[in-house]
Amino acid sequence: MYMRKTLIIAGLLMSTQMGVAQESRFGVPATQADIDKRFWSVFPDGEFLPEGEGNVAEGAELFEYNCNLCHNYPDENDPNKNAIGKLFGGHETMGTDNIDRTIGSYWPHPTTVFNYIRRAMPLIAPMSLTNSEYYSLTAYLLHENGIIGENDVINKDTLPKVQMPNRDGFVNAYPDIPEKYRTKQ
Amino acid sequence: MKKDQNKNLPIDATDRVASGGLLSRRLFLNSAVATTAALATTRAAYGQEIVGEGQEDWTLYPGSDALEYGERSRFEAERVKKFVPPITEANQAFYDLRTTNASSLTPHQHLMGTITPSGLHFSVTHHGVPDIDPDKHAVVIHGMVKNPLKFDINALENYPTITREYFLECSGNSGVLWGETARDVQLDRMHGLVSGSQWTGIKLSTLLDECGVSPDAKWIIAEGADSGSLSRSIPIDKALKDSMIAIAQNGERLMPQQGYPMRLFNPGFEGNTSIKWLRSLYVSDKPVMSRFETSRYTDRMPDGKALQFSLEIDVKSMITRPSNAMSLPKHGLYEVTGLAWSGRGKIAKVEVSVDGGKTWAEAALEGPVHSIMLTRFRIPWMWDGGSAILQSRATDEFGRVQPAREKLIAARGRRPSYHFHGIQSWGVDTEGKIKHVYA
């Protein structure tokens, strides 16, 4: 379905370093088809991003038909406005107690957008679009958040290079949170 | 008019272990306290009447047949989970649209002991509950491994299983307590996103050994088979230490709401990492940065940064009785009881205060105390009818102490949304009404 070469080559190279795996007692070898059916992840460095390409204009059209029902709240006073993830704007809420965690204001990685919408959206029909269509929707979402230009195209090479506004907004808390955020007794 | 319901209790000064009426945890063990009123035997000689006169119908008539799957008494029908958000007439249509993102809350005010019945275990779903045919489901372990392997439920059942009691908590549990004002929400709406169960499964390390994991592996990306293919990155040290693929809860196969037929279970980690309906484990040298570890389940700090991979659940406790789901009918002797837990290990100590934290007394822990499991505590309390503020404070085996709410907020601000674990207060007024308060 999408590029597995990297994985397969990496797997062959690594096999020499690994400890000898014992015989599986009850598991069976997982075929590439077994894996492709179940594994949908793409990584921030672009690993596993598929072939295909999308643009903002096509994304706008797809958004209208597939996403608007839930994600467009013309009435700012609608109490349900933020119950389903608000996607755009929110920059003015950064640094306040009640932040709108939108793609533009909060999400640190552009690949997360593609990774998430391809597996999970549209809500009532996930995985119902083509890879190029998901790239187009990604392009539209990034453009509407002021992150890419309206003529930019999104594919497996361009997407990982997109710079998200809040890319430096996170600190690792595993295995323990940084000293400065710990409570003092 | 209030009456002292236990006038004749033999309590002396040494039983009073903190101010406000807290009594020694040993008091309930004293047989002198367990006073049982002598049963009045007022049976008259009935002469010719049948001997069952005065008995209830269920004693006089044979009951119903056995069931293939037992059910609770019809008188317990209201002891069920509540939903988030509350369903009202006004939001019904909207709720129908978003039932895929529903939470249900364990009603701890009704429960005893430490095991949450499977049907009352909290559940959070982001894309609904899938209806999985186990014959068409399997998990693959692949990526930086020598042998990618596939396991279905029949294969997993052949392995030696481990059975452990563990709590599971959503990191959003008690999130209302980050708020500026003390909202009037009941115990289950406040603390209902934590439950405790006996989980049975296969240690993930057993299966990873068979796959032959690369020494360079650092993360495992877990994905579910729900319609959002929900995924999280799990640190490899955790996966090799105590993670399991759970296939049973409280002795029977998982309920669909809990990940049927198989789920990842990461003891002590925030709930959403224990991927339900598990179907892929990709061994990697980097995290995937899925939506649920970036835009959700990250904790915003006062300096504008957000904590990512804040995975371990901190030491925490709650008083379940008395709580604001009930009131105190008259002054006298009560038991203050609740649950304590820590994602890192065992609960070592729980202290209770009835004067808003000025004085504390150690509660009794109901053993055996399991690591990473709910632990019940209890302490007798003689309520004198005055106002009181009830609090509990847990300490785990590593000496980590549950912080006061204001200290937690001083360190992390008011924005984290997740991982609230500070001390929570129940205010009791002179009428015996109980309210959630900040104190």
Report the half-sphere exposure of A176 (CA within 13 A, side-chain side): 7
- Provide the chain B residues 29-88 that lie in CB contact (below 8 A) with chain A: 85
Q: What's the pLDDT at B5?
A: 47
State which residue of chain A sits closest to B152, comparing Cα positions: A27
Q: Average pLDDT for residues B301-309, to the nearest whole number?
A: 94
User: Which amino acid is residue B144, in one-letter code?
Assistant: M
In tens, the pLDDT along B144-159 reads: 999 999 999 999 999 9
Give tens-digit pLDDT for B42-87: 445 556 778 888 999 999 999 999 999 999 999 999 999 888 766 6
* Identity at A112, one-letter amino acid code: T
CA B382 to chain A, closest CA, distance in angstroms equals: 29
Chain A CA closest to residue B94: A80
- Tell me the pLDDT tens digit for each residue of B192-248: 999 999 999 999 999 999 999 999 999 999 999 999 999 999 999 999 999 999 999
Least confident range of A13-27, B151-165, B304-318:
A13-27
pLDDT greater than 70 at residue B92: no
Of the options 2.60.40.650, 1.10.645.10, 3.40.50.2300, 3.40.50.1370, the CATH number for the domain spanning B316-437: 2.60.40.650
In a domain, A18, yes or no: no
Residue A40 lies in a domain: no
Query: Which residue, B106, B15, B77, B84, is CA-closest to B318?
Result: B106
DSSP A54-120: EEHHHHHHHHHHHTHHHH--S-TT-TTTTTS---S--GGGTTSSS----TTTT---HHHHHHHHHHH
**pLDDT the model gives residue B343:** 98
Give the rounded percent of residues in chain A with a pLDDT score beyond 90: 64
Paired with B213 in beta bridges are B145
How far B221 CA sits from the closest chain A CA (Å)? 8
**Strand B316-321 to strand B332-341: parallel, antiparallel, or no bridges (unpaired)?**
antiparallel
User: From CA A47, how far away is CA A44, in angstroms rounded?
Assistant: 7
Q: Are strands A170-172 and B361-362 parallel, antiparallel or unpaired?
A: unpaired
Question: Residue B25: pLDDT band by 50, 70, 90 thresholds?
Answer: confident
In chain A, residues 162-181 whose CB comes closer than 8 Å to chain B: 169-178, 181
Number of domains in chain A: 1
A130 conformational bin, left if phi > 0, alpha if psi -120 to 50, beta if neither: beta
Q: Is the CB of residue B141 less than 8 Å from the CB of residue B283?
A: yes
Question: Does residue A126 sit at the B interface (CB-CB below 8 Å)?
Answer: yes
Residue bearing tokens 């360190």? B411
Query: Which one of B150, B221, B307 has the shortest CB-CB distance to A27?
Result: B150
**pLDDT tier for residue B90 given thresholds of 50, 70 and 90:** low
Mean pLDDT score, A127-140: 98
Looking at residue A79, its pLDDT comes to 53
Give the Cα separation of B208 and B213 in Å (integer).
Answer: 6
Mutate to test the interface with A, among B126, B149, B264, B396 (most CBs of A within 10 A): B149
Q: Give the residue from chain B lying closest to A109, CA to CA.
A: B289
Q: Give the CATH superfamily of B134-302.
A: Oxidoreductase, molybdopterin-binding domain (3.90.420.10)
Query: Quick check: B406 contacting A, CB < 8 Å?
Result: no
Q: In chain B, which residues have their Cβ closer than 8 Å to the Cβ of A178?
A: 307
pLDDT confidence bin for A94, thresholds 50/70/90: confident
> A113 vs chain B: nearest CA distance in angstroms?
8
Best CA proximity match to B190, nearest among B350, B305, B82: B82
A92 compared with A133, residue with greater pLDDT: A133
Residue B168: is its pLDDT beyond 80?
A: yes
Nearest C-alpha neighbor of B278 from the set B201, B205, B206, B210? B201
Q: Does B279 touch chain A (CB under 8 A)?
A: yes
Q: What is the 3-state secondary structure (H, E, C) of chain B?
A: CCCCCCCCCCCCHHHECCCCCEECCCHHHCCCCCCCCCCCCCCCCCCCCCCCCCCCHHHHCCCCCCCCCCCCCHHHCCCCCEEECCCCCCCHHHHHHCHHHCEEECCHHHCCCCCCCHHHCCEECCCCCCCCCHHHCCEEEEECECCCEEECHHHHHCCCCEEEEEEEECCCCCHHHHCCCCCCCCHHHHHCCEEEEEEEEEEHHHHHHHHCECCCCCEEEEEECCCCCCEEEEEHHHHHHCCEEEEEECCEECCHHHCCCCEEECCCEEHHHCCCCEEEEEEECCCCCCHHHCCCCCEECCCCCEEECCCECCCEEEEEECCCCCECCCCEEEEEEEEEECCCCCEEEEEEECECCCCCEECEECCCCCCCCCEEEEEEEEECCCCEEEEEEEEECCCCECCCHHHHHHHHCCCCCCCCCCCCEEEECCCCEEEEECC
CB–CB contact B289 A106 (8 Å): no
Instruction: Please report residues of A whose CB lies closer than 8 A to that of B301.
Output: 171, 181
What band does A73 get if pLDDT is binned at 50, 70 and 90? low
pLDDT at A10 exceeding the cut of 80: no
Residue A153 lies in a domain: yes
Q: Give the 3-state secondary structure of residue A36.
A: helix
Residue A97 lies in a domain: yes
Q: Which of B322, B291, B382 is nearest to B18 (CA)?
A: B382
Q: Hey, is the C-beta of B211 within 8 angstroms of any chain A C-beta?
A: yes
Q: What CATH number should be reported for the domain holding residue A112?
A: 1.10.760.10
- Mutation for testing the B interface, residue in A6, A17, A18, A117 having most B CBs under 10 Å: A18
Any idea which of A8-17, A115-124, B140-149 has the lowest mean pLDDT? A8-17
- The predicted structure's pLDDT at residue A123: 86
Which of A26, A84, A124, A162 to substitute to test the interface with B, most B CBs within 10 Å?
A26
Report, as an integer, the average pLDDT of B12-39. Answer: 67
Q: Which residues of B touch A126 (CB under 8 A)?
A: 127, 227-229
Closest to B401 (Cα-Cα) out of B376, B374, B421, B424: B421
Domain of A107, in residue numbers: 52-72+85-169
Report CB contact under 8 Å: A173, B308: yes
Nearest Cα residue in chain B from A23: B210
Give which of B360, B12, B374, B335 is closest to B196, Cα–Cα.
Answer: B374
What pLDDT, in 10s, does the model give residues B365-420?
999 999 999 999 999 999 999 999 999 999 999 999 999 999 999 999 998 999 99
- Residue B93 is predicted with a pLDDT of 56
Q: Is A68 on the interface with B (CB under 8 A)?
A: no
Contact A139, A37 (CB under 8 A): no
- Cβ–Cβ under 8 Å, residues B228 and B272: no
Question: Domain-by-domain residue ranges, chain B?
Answer: 134-302, 316-437
Pick the residue of A181, A182, A184, A185 with the most B CBs within 10 A to test the interface with B by mutation: A181
Least confident residue range of A168-172, B7-11, B229-233, B268-272: B7-11
Give the pLDDT confidence of B338-367 residue by residue, as tens digits.
999 999 999 999 999 999 999 999 999 999
Query: Cβ of B209 and A22 within 8 Å?
Result: yes
Tally A–B CB contacts below 8 A. 216
